[in-house]
A and B are shown apart, each in its own frame.
Chain A
Amino acid sequence: QQPVQSPQAVILREGEDAVINCSSSKALYSVHWYRQKHGEAPVFLMILLKGGEQKGHEKISASFNEKKQQSSLYLTASQLSYSGTYFCGTEQGGSEKLVFGKGTKLTVNP
């Protein structure tokens, strides 16, 4: 079942913060986050495993609430290079494949 991402789109000024949410109606084994720039392949950012551990990658971090079947991606002090479409991919029940949300388009302006 496809996870739901929100918001669908967000526009920021450089230096501002953003939160992207991903929720599922099914129990999750893991949540992955990817960023795709226009015309390019999606690039892996991070993985959140069961246990609620918060992971970080530069100024981008994420959390995973397995009880609520939700994950959030936090982008702090955004940079122009953060622009792109962010996808969450959920692994349900140890299926070893990801079901992706429809994506959140992030635009960072100077």
Chain B
Amino acid sequence: GAGVSQSPSNKVTEKGKDVELRCDPISGHTALYWYRQSLGQGLEFLIYFQGNSAPDKSGLPSDRFSAERTGGSVSTLTIQRTQQEDSAVYLCASSLQLGITGGYTFGSGTRLTVV
């Protein structure tokens, strides 16, 4: 597609429920990233996929968080047993080759609210 697409744009869930957030990167972009942005905070790295390599999961805050990328394209971030502190905007970004051709292209994000 022309840009990075994320869905849903907004999600309100009850504490303890599971949620799935979807990211559709720019076609041909081999790298895909998930970040989290809490109110007034910077961008917190969660996970990074590059081609067929094993993902870099070093930023996932707990084992309730997981992500997969199917067919080198669409990615899903899953949060199990959601907690109120999980409330944030979840941003997905993709890039062709970081540092060489440029930077990230971000999606518009999913605003997650846990009540």
Q: Knowing A41-B109, A42-B106, A47-B102, say if A97 contacts B45 (CB, 8 Å).
A: yes
Scan residues 92-110 of chain A and give those whose CB is less than 8 A from a CB of chain B.
95-103
Interface residues of A in 19-35 (CB under 8 A from B): 29-30, 32, 34
Q: Which chain B residue shows the least CB distance to A2? A: B42
Closest B-chain residue to A99, C-beta based?
B45
Question: Taking the complex as formed, is A64 at the interface, i.e. its CB lies under 8 A from any CB of chain B?
Answer: no
* Least Cβ–Cβ distance between A47 and chain B, in angstroms: 6
Interface residues on A, range: 20 to 34
| Interface residue? A91 (CB, 8 A) | yes
A101 and B42 contact, Cβ closer than 8 Å, known pairs A40-B108, A96-B50: yes
Q: Which chain A positions have C-beta within 8 A of B43? A: 42, 87, 89, 100
Q: Mark B97-109, 1 if CB is under 8 A from A, else 0.
A: 0110011111111
A44 neighbours in B (Cβ, 8 Å)? 102-105
* Contact in complex: A96, B42 (CB < 8 Å): no
Pick the residue among A29, A32, A41 that contacts B108 (CB under 8 A): A41
Taken together as a complex, chains A and B put the C-alpha atoms of A44 and B78 apart, in Å, by 27
Q: Which residue of B lies closest to A33 (CB)?
A: B103
Tell me, yes or no, whether A43 is within 8 Å of chain B by CB: yes
Q: Determine the distance from Cα of A37 to Cα of B35 in the docked complex, in whole angstroms.
A: 17
Are A97 and B105 in contact, with the CB atoms below 8 A? no
A89 touches B103 (CB 8 A): yes
Q: Is the CB of A47 within 8 A of B99?
A: yes
Q: Which of A34, A43, A49 meets B99, CB within 8 Å? A: A49
Docked Cα-Cα span, A87 to B109, in Å, equals: 17
Contacts of A49 in B (CB 8 A): 99
| B37-48 interface bits toward A, Cβ cutoff 8 Å, 1 = contact, 0 = none | 000011111001
Q: Mark B51-72, 1 if CB is under 8 A from A, else 0.
A: 0000010000000000000000
CA distance A30 to B99 in the complex (A): 7
Q: How far is the CA of A95 from the CA of B45 in the complex (A)?
A: 12
- What is the interface of chain B, defined by CB distance below 8 A to chain A? 31, 33, 35, 41-45, 48, 50, 56, 91, 98-99, 102-109
